[in-house]
Amino acid sequence: MSALKKSPRSHLQIVTATETPAPVMRLAFEAQAPQALRLRESTAAERIALIKKLRTAMLARREEFYVAFAQDMRKSKAEVEGAEFMPVLDEMRHAIGSLKRWMKPQSVTPVITSVGSKAQIQMQPRGRVLIIAPWNYPLNQCFCPLISAIAAGNTVILKPSEMTPTVSKLMGVIIAEVFDATQVAYFEGGQATSTALLALPFDHIFFTGSPAVGKLVMAAAAKHLTSITLELGGKSPTIVDETADTKLAAENLIWGKFINSGQTCIAPDHIYVHAKVKAKFIKACQAALTKYYGAPAKRMSNADLTHIVNTRHTQRLSDLLSDAQKRGARIIVGGQVDIAECMVAPTLLDGVNADMRIMQEEIFGPVLPIVEFSDINKVIAQINANPKPLALYVYSSNEARAAQIIAQTSSGGACVNQCMMHNVQGNLPFGGVNNSGIGSTHGYHGFKAFSHERSVLTAGRLRLEKLFAPPYTAMRFKLIKQIVDTMRLPAL
Ligand code: NAD
């Protein structure tokens, strides 16, 4: 066990990050330039060896991570295992097992105009990349993109969130153990560090965080025409229709909402429930809360509930609740807030409306508004009137209805009779759409995000362009026209 001790109250303070001086980061960025060129020719075996080294170093500090997570946000060991280590290990396993195949140039079939030549897509590293991460799943959100970036052959500058300093420190120790700084450099800090990094001409920026900061990242990237992946957030709606299995839906949604105390980008934000099953569903939600977290009176001290990351966010949630109550919302269960302890009881809210801040802002905490509906078309219209969410969940026994809801709405990802699990299906692209993000990650999609898909055409003996060269005699014109006319033939 390391020197990291569980200090029970240290997480309660808003952390003032020690910012890294801009010149230090510029030097590190410049030092990565030769390595980025060398990595263009690195093999799958070299990249896999680094990922394995990272895995060994991370697992060697498993116990220290338990302590660090407890210190920063009182995350239980079970959630550290299931929501931090598991996705990272799975991302590693996926890359280790598939990288050789992902790196193989893909030949594409010829089209009429390329007959006689060979055409390939070659996955080339983007070069020097920047990864900026949030605090809610700090290890997962730092290491998963790092694995994809390494798999794709890039150098990386990684900046974790300033809000989980103990976990960030530990990750920094591991990065320094595993990587030479010319391949992966790690800088802690907050807004100033981020802003200074964003001024550098990276080849790609992978940002995970809020839509508001995502816009700043995109504007900074535009200065250098740097490509970006933005993994953002938003209000992910859930629909429970009148045909749904209410017990299954409630147990699944209460799990999805309250794991990490709702501080999950794809947590069900609010639930539209059909009037016919609303009472039954609420009862099932109450039963699920008791099953997972015991009697209401004991929930504020339940060790399985992660705390809110700091007092500022606890106050934000308290303000959202007060605003909703002032405007007529009713607390079904929960509602207790302890700012000093960074704790909010699992809360179900009824009687919410669109004027309340809680229905306008991403909640990102353990408060679940339940909205009654009787016309599914109105719910679809409401979802379509809002910014496109990161996820959307439908609970229904009517397959056609579920398919209709998915077809008539848009979101980064979606699940039917399930929530959040699309995130751990490593063969699905994970990401948002417009306000909830740009681009995607995980498995091959993560490798692709950090690669440039380079088109390489190698000429053969037959050279079609000769037919298109001047002088444009009448004969030549007739020939060109005949070739152009072949474009009307059906595709092969
Ligand atoms: P945030 O946007 O406040 O911060 C993210 C990162 O940006 C941090 O490293 C922070 O230091 C940095 N940052 C903050 N302000 C900045 C500024 N003005 N300029 C430059 N950099 C700045 O987000 P957060 O509070 O850390 O995380 C919560 C948000 O992240 C939620 O919206 C959540 O939905 C989203 N999120 C999305 C995903 C996903 O995969 N799509 C995953 C986790 C979290």
In this structure, the answer to whether residues 258 and 400 fall within a common structural domain is: yes
Separation of alpha carbons 305 and 456, rounded Å: 52
Which of the residue ranges 263-267, 362-366, 460-464 would you say has the lowest mean pLDDT? 460-464
Which range marks the domain in which residue 20 is found? 10-232+442-453
pLDDT bin (cut points 50, 70, 90) of residue 492 is: low
Q: What is the mean pLDDT of the chain?
A: 95
Catalytic residue IDs: 231, 265
pLDDT exceeds cutoff 70 at 14: no
Query: 213, 235, 261, 317: which to mutate for ligand 1, most atoms within 8 A of CB?
Result: 213
Mean pLDDT to the nearest integer, 116-123:
96
pLDDT exceeds cutoff 70 at 1: no
Q: Are 331 and 349 in contact (CB under 8 A)?
A: yes
In this structure, the answer to whether residues 151 and 189 fall within a common structural domain is: yes
Closest alpha carbon to 176 in 163, 188, 186: 186
Distances (CA, A) of 341 to 4, 9, 253, 309, 346: 21, 8, 26, 10, 15
pLDDT for position 68: 98
pLDDT for position 78: 98
CATH number of 259's domain: 3.40.309.10
Query: Does residue 486 belong to any structural domain of this protein?
Result: no
In this structure, the answer to whether residues 162 and 59 fall within a common structural domain is: yes
Question: In the chain, what is the straight-line distance between the N-terminal and C-terminal CA atoms, in Å?
Answer: 63
Query: Does residue 279 belong to any structural domain of this protein?
Result: yes
pLDDT exceeds cutoff 90 at 4: no
In this structure, the answer to whether residues 259 and 195 fall within a common structural domain is: no
Report pLDDT digits (tens) over 141-195: 999 999 999 999 999 999 999 999 999 999 999 999 999 999 999 999 999 999 9
In this structure, the answer to whether residues 271 and 343 fall within a common structural domain is: yes
pLDDT bin (cut points 50, 70, 90) of residue 491 is: confident
CATH number of 88's domain: 3.40.605.10
Which residues, judged by CB distance below 6 Å to any ligand atom, belong to the binding site of ligand 1? 132-136, 141, 159, 161-162, 190-191, 194-195, 208-210, 213, 216, 231-233, 265, 362, 364, 390, 432, 437
SS3 content of the chain, % helix, strand, coil (to 5): 50, 15, 35
Closest alpha carbon to 388 in 371, 413, 405: 413
Query: Does residue 482 belong to any structural domain of this protein?
Result: no
In this structure, the answer to whether residues 32 and 155 fall within a common structural domain is: yes
Query: Does residue 469 belong to any structural domain of this protein?
Result: no
In this structure, the answer to whether residues 123 and 73 fall within a common structural domain is: yes
Query: Does residue 462 belong to any structural domain of this protein?
Result: no
Separation of 383 CA from ligand 1 center, angstroms?
23
In this structure, the answer to whether residues 81 and 222 fall within a common structural domain is: yes
Query: Does residue 335 belong to any structural domain of this protein?
Result: yes
Query: Does residue 34 belong to any structural domain of this protein?
Result: yes
Percent pLDDT > 90 in the chain is 93
Let me know the angle formed at the C-alpha of 347 by 346 and 349, rounded to the nearest 5 degrees: 160
pLDDT exceeds cutoff 60 at 12: no
Query: Does residue 485 belong to any structural domain of this protein?
Result: no
In this structure, the answer to whether residues 147 and 113 fall within a common structural domain is: yes
pLDDT bin (cut points 50, 70, 90) of residue 11 is: very low
pLDDT bin (cut points 50, 70, 90) of residue 2 is: very low
pLDDT for position 8: 46
Separation of 26 CA from ligand 1 center, angstroms?
22
In this structure, the answer to whether residues 241 and 202 fall within a common structural domain is: no
In this structure, the answer to whether residues 219 and 260 fall within a common structural domain is: no
In this structure, the answer to whether residues 212 and 332 fall within a common structural domain is: no
Structural domains in the chain (count): 2
Which residues are within 8 A (CB) of 268 and not within 5 positions of it... i.e. 6 or more apart?
Answer: 236, 237, 238, 253, 256, 257, 368, 391, 393, 419
Q: Are 124 and 225 in contact (CB under 8 A)?
A: no
Closest alpha carbon to 250 in 276, 274, 275, 280: 280
Which residues are within 8 A (CB) of 414 and not within 5 positions of it... i.e. 6 or more apart?
Answer: 391, 392, 393, 394, 406, 422
ω into 471 cis (within 30 of 0)? yes
